[in-house]
A and B are shown apart, each in its own frame.
Chain A
């Protein structure tokens, strides 16, 4: 093979390395550095040692946000994945109808988070929203549920909107994996007299295992760093009821101009998301043996 000089290699890698290092990698040590300061984002940076970290550990709102993130993780894993899997199985047999269904089911994934949130804020509107109107139409005439204004409901209402948006993604992922399973396996088991359920239990599910694990990791990591639909729909409210780590970080940094504390939250988010995805991957790998 031809000799390629070190300089040529370097020049080919340079644009990607430069942009990636500057915007994705350098910010990590920079955030760590900022977390030791009190700083408005402009003007003087005051060194405060570990006091941001001490504040974070005792910050009730951060605890609440972290707990909400875990609720989101749990309800995404057990809300999105089973429904997505059921829909994928339903679409696995290629017919005209399943083709049309697949096309339509996919559409929410094309919407921006802002569009999804705007739509759902109108679905949830207590007076004129679709959901309450629907409940009234089917007979619950005096029902006025304030889905986003009630602190007990806000987080769950937001999670329903999130699931609506992301189920199509996992559905497509599972569907692609199901289509990769060779037909011969099902034919062989049909000859052996296996039922549909047995096919699913002993062929489809085991072969989907890597995809299910992959999807779980994506869902876990995505839920730990979730931001936009929540930010647009409730802003983390009412009274921090639907606060997540990322919304709390954003509000501290860019609304209250507490850049130092914001960096501390961001770093904590990074460490938590990183640790949990590593643990999750280790555990699922072990289980696979």
Chain B
């Protein structure tokens, strides 16, 4: 490589590193300052003391509950998504029936639907069903908008499983439920983990349905909680930055441990509608 090309590459890499990384350094160091310290010292300065006081205050003013609420909604939705999507995908991929292709296209068309068109009807339905302001009210829409991509990924994967495996089990007297739970499901674990990770990141960070379907502070999820937290602490920048750090931390830890899987899961969602 020529010398100039090398310099350009290093420059680009360095600039983008700074643009990505510095905001996190800023958040981390600011979150340890007191409000007074933030306004009287330089924004670039390190905190005078390493203190986790802001974190304690934030945890006690709601973040523990936000975590629990998000965890409940995300996990419940994921379980329902994985079960219902893999059941549907199994039929579409392996069983010959007349409407197989139509059913598949029907689900895939869902990727073209902007969720905004569903907001008003879903808001009304949720109220009618008595689920407004309940965490369980979020699960329906969360599962519904995750299904198209999940079914797409799982169908592709199940279609690759050789038929002989099912046939052998059938000859041994297994029925279709047993084949699904004992043969198919264990084999599709890699695809299930992709689907789980992709939807986990999406649902953990979901904002608009929560905004529309939840108003009670006891039921705020992490995004809604952070949104209100920054409204409440407005000018207390260190506290607001603490809130952002707390909201990012769980997925960040998850990412540190399962890096390659997370990256793979996030790319799997890149399917055009």
Contact = CB atoms under 8 A, between A and B. Distances in A.
Contacts of B144: 19-20, 22-24
B114 A9 contact: no
B159 interface: no
A228 B121 contact: no
**B39, B114, B166, B270 — most chain A CB neighbours (10 Å):** B114
Contacts of B80: 15, 19
Contacts of A273: 112, 114
Interface string A250-289: 1001100001001100110110011001000100000000
Q: Chain B binding site: helix, strand, loop or mixed by DSSP?
A: helix
Contacts of A109: 266
Given A1-B167, A123-B23, A112 B247 contact: yes
Contacts of A24: 110, 113, 118, 144-145, 147-148
A113 B205 contact: yes
A36 interface: no
A208 interface: no
A110 interface: yes
Contacts of B224: 114
Given A118-B240, A227-B208, A130 B43 contact: yes
A153 interface: no
Contacts of A254: 119, 123, 212
A225 to B, nearest CB: 4
Nearest to B228: A114
Range of interface residues on B (Cβ < 8 Å): 35 or more
A269 B240 contact: no
Interface string B177-203: 000100000000000000000000100
A266 B91 contact: no
6 contacts: A105-B20, A106-B263, A110-B251, A115-B223, A227-B116, A270-B117
Interface of B: 1, 5, 9, 12-13, 16-17, 19-21, 23-24, 26-27, 38-39, 42-44, 80, 83-85, 87-88, 90-91, 95-97, 103, 107, 110, 112-125, 140-141, 143-145, 147-148, 151, 163, 166-167, 170, 176, 180, 201, 204-205, 207-208, 212, 222-224, 226-227, 230, 237, 240-241, 243-244, 247-248, 251-252, 255, 259, 262-263, 266-267, 270-273
